[in-house]
Structure 1
Amino acid sequence: MNNTYQERDVFVAIADPTRRKLIRLLAVAEELPLHEITPQFQMGRTAISKHLTILKEADLVTNRKLGRETRYRLNPAPLQEVKDWLSFYENFWNERAKLLKNILEE
């Protein structure tokens, strides 16, 4: 099966600090072309494009052509999976902290 589009796990996509910075950048801006994104990083256009591709494969970024320019936009919906996962552990640790506090107070 020769499929050029591969769906990526959102956790894999956000594991890299460069991609997390890209997500933050796109969260602040409505939509950005590659030539405005690239100067924000200490790497070339090709490397940024590869990171954006990984984010696209995780459905975290969408793009559209505007003339010869490709513009990128954040799709935050897949981040809900991360939020839900973190929320479980936040509750887990809050309960553990309460138990520890109760033990220490006794």
Structure 2
Amino acid sequence: MPETAVFAALASPVRRQVLQVLRDEGPQPVAALSARFELARPSFSEHLKVLRDAGLASETRQGRQRVYRLEPAALQDVRAWLEPFEQFWAARLAGLGAVLDELP
């Protein structure tokens, strides 16, 4: 199951927050990313490694800096997995809407 690594990476609030920063603000040097978190550098580096290994982020070198970038394609597996649940809830809410429409 290829999405297993993605789900494991998304299980951490720190990693989800890193992905949000990369989504909202674009590629970031490691120093700028790590400054947002109260974590020891080795701990933060491990979070970045998990994101890289899951394919959710990539690293490039720009001079002496390592810059991280969001790789959203890896989230397609999550979206595909969630789609049946979205359909389930959409059907349930539509049914609730029909019941509510029939009430006086």
Where on the TM-score scale, by shorter chain, does this alignment land: which range? 0.7 to 0.9
1:6-26 Cα distance to aligned partner (Å, 9 max, x none): x96211111111000000011
Q: Distance in 2 between matches of 1:53 and 1:78?
A: 15
Are 2:66 and 1:70 equivalent residues in the alignment?
yes
Are 2:50 and 1:44 equivalent residues in the alignment?
no
State the match for 1:18 in structure 2.
Answer: 14
Aligned residues: 100
**Aligned with 2:84 (options 76, 85, 88):** 88
Greater percentage in helix: 2
After superposition, the CA RMSD in angstroms is 2.0
Identity of aligned residues (%): 37
Are 2:93 and 1:97 equivalent residues in the alignment?
yes
Unaligned runs of at least 5 residues, structure 1? 1-6
Unaligned runs of at least 5 residues, structure 2? none
Decide which moves more: 81-90 or 91-100.
91-100
TM-score (norm 1): 0.81
Are 2:51 and 1:55 equivalent residues in the alignment?
yes
Tell me by how many angstroms 1:29 deviates. Answer: 2.3
Q: Distance in 2 between matches of 1:94 and 1:72?
A: 36
